[in-house]
Chain A
Amino acid sequence: MLVIGERLSIMSKRVREAMQRRDKETIRQISIEQYKAGAHMIEANIGPAEDEGEELMEWMVTTIQEAVPLPLSLDTTNPLAVEAGLKVHNNEWGKPLINSTSLDPERFVMFELAAKYNVPIIALTVGKGGLPRNAEERVEIALQLIEKATEYGILPDDLYLDPLVLQIATSQEQAKEVLKSIRLFRELNDPPMKTIVGLSNLSNGCPKEIRPILNKHFLALLMYEGLSAAIVNPAEVMETIKTIKVIMGNTLYAHSYLEI
């Protein structure tokens, strides 16, 4: 499973301040921590980034890739910033990922970028009409997204469908719908469609000490359904990922399986 380190996000006060001050050392340090914890990609979430978005994304991409030999997930709603990031991204360690598009026509420009730079893209199964109510609505949107992607010349293999994980504290019934969506998304193509979640949104708003518990258990269930990628705090979930891979028979068991 593809593990994308979530920690370089504008949502974190420490990271936000580092971005504002262009404090390379903090970004470097968090990148290295995530790399050592087992991340395969690093997410650079700069938020809407309406002012100076291009310059900020360029700075993030180069700062992170100076620190770790990994590709990046570029997370912003500003297409100019995404393109700026794609331009400076070092593809030696893998292709970057665009995070994200959706069925909102304003976001279709992201499809254009994915096609232009031949990179994979995350497609959120939300339309213009707001959040989907259940798995079936998500599947309907997913089908339209696959069709839209094809119009732009993007292959299903380059599309990561994101069912949108919601907060357990406010939308408890949605957790089960997300699990079901992963299963149904996979059935939309052969080979199965790729799926992704932003895991920790599940526990957003929950007490700090129970957040990892919620995240880890939910991830285990998602993996059982066949999840292909997750944006996570790698240090928090690596034990779960290794263990579920063993239980699912994807990794051969050895007593020291957690150490490798």
Chain B
Amino acid sequence: MNFVVPKEKYLNRIPVISFGKEKKIFIGGENTLPFLKFEGEIPHKPLIAYEIQDAPPEDYPEELAKIYSSFWHDPVEWAKFCIELGAEAICLRLMSSHPDSQNTSAEEVAETVKKIISSVHIPLIILGSNHIEKDSVILPVVSEVARGYNCIIGKAQEANYRTIAASAMAGGHNLIAMSELDVNLAKQLNILISQTGFPKEKIIIDPMCSALGYGFEYTYSVMERIRIAALMQGDDILCCPMIADVGFYVWKTKETQASYEENPSWGSLYERAIMWEAVTACSFLMSGAELLIMRHPKAIEIVKNFINDLR
């Protein structure tokens, strides 16, 4: 008797999100769990966006500074460098707008966005600084400036989703909905955003990321539960692509910063830091993320190979 591979039946299909203007890119569209291509279709590969910031970063550790410090005084140059490195998408984080940073105004960050969209012709994710009040001021202006460029805007949270969702809708963008590590809160935020009239099929869920060793398993398990609810319980509200904002969390950990001399048993900082980002990223692909935001080119290369090997 021939062995027949038992197959799970799934009740839903993740919507396809397309973003970008001249060059469009697609994520989502699968009707099976990550990489289980024998059980369903996975039409689009997970995507990695290279993160850049609108001003020289205040907290990039040495391993990142080595690569980016000669470009980061100008976000356009920085973006172009990422494209040279092979970036398929760019994530611009408007970190300078944070009140504890330079507290730049909506008009100032909008100027940066204008420059980027006129000179960078690959799909763009535009993020605020995750400051609830400030994001609700700058993101509507940014959405308007980038109107028609079909970006991904983020992040809308429970305390500021109204203005951000309304402006993202007016600008024709996709929207990242970020909740705090809880499957029920993720669902609730999606309901609230949908109730504003924002199209559900343009929502990307961010269940709040974390780094390996720093609450990683919480994010992993929330992502897993969201995806299982969507595909196996037929929960339409949670049936959305997911994003993992990997670099932002990974490059804050001491494992990406402590030198060899500080702790010889940890081995080389270069390899350790890269692997910290790569392993965190690969794990979130396993739990369902379709979109990753990452920083180190070498880590990105490792994750890309991982994706291609598993497909």
- Chain A contacts to B: CB under 8 angstroms: 250-256, 259-260
Contact = CB atoms under 8 A, between A and B. Distances in A.
B195 A259 contact: yes
B192 A256 contact: yes
Contacts, number: 28
A254 B195 contact: no
A123 B72 CA distance: 74
A256 B191 contact: yes
Nearest to B233: A252
A102 B70 CA distance: 83
A260 B192 CA distance: 10
A250 B237 CA distance: 14
A256 B185 CA distance: 10
Interface string B195-230: 100000000000000000000000000000000010
Contacts of B195: 256, 259
Chain B interface extent, by class: 10 to 19
Contacts of A260: 191, 237
Interface in B172-210: 183-185, 187-188, 191-192, 195
5 contacts: A253-B184, A254-B187, A256-B188, A259-B195, A260-B191
A259 B192 CA distance: 10
B183 A252 contact: yes
A252 B191 contact: no
Between A251, A252, A253, the greatest number of chain B beta carbons within 10 A of the residue's beta carbon is seen for: A252
A150 to B, nearest CB: 26
B235 A259 contact: no
A255 B183 CA distance: 12
A250 B188 CA distance: 16
Contacts of A251: 233, 235
A254 B191 contact: yes
B229 A252 contact: yes
A160 B238 CA distance: 32
B238 A252 contact: yes
Contacts of B235: 251-252
Contacts of A256: 188, 191-192, 195
A254 B182 CA distance: 10
Nearest to A250: B233
Contacts of A254: 184-185, 187-188, 191, 237
Interface string B80-110: 0000000000000000000000000000000
A250 B232 CA distance: 11
A252 B191 CA distance: 12
A252 B188 contact: no
A254 B184 CA distance: 5
B264 to A, nearest CB: 48
A94 to B, nearest CB: 17
Contacts of B188: 254-256
A253 B238 CA distance: 11
Contacts of A259: 191, 195
Nearest to A249: B233
A110 B179 CA distance: 53
A252 B184 contact: yes
A260 B233 CA distance: 16
Contacts of B233: 250-252
Interface centre among A251, A253, A254, A260 (most CB of B within 10 A): A254
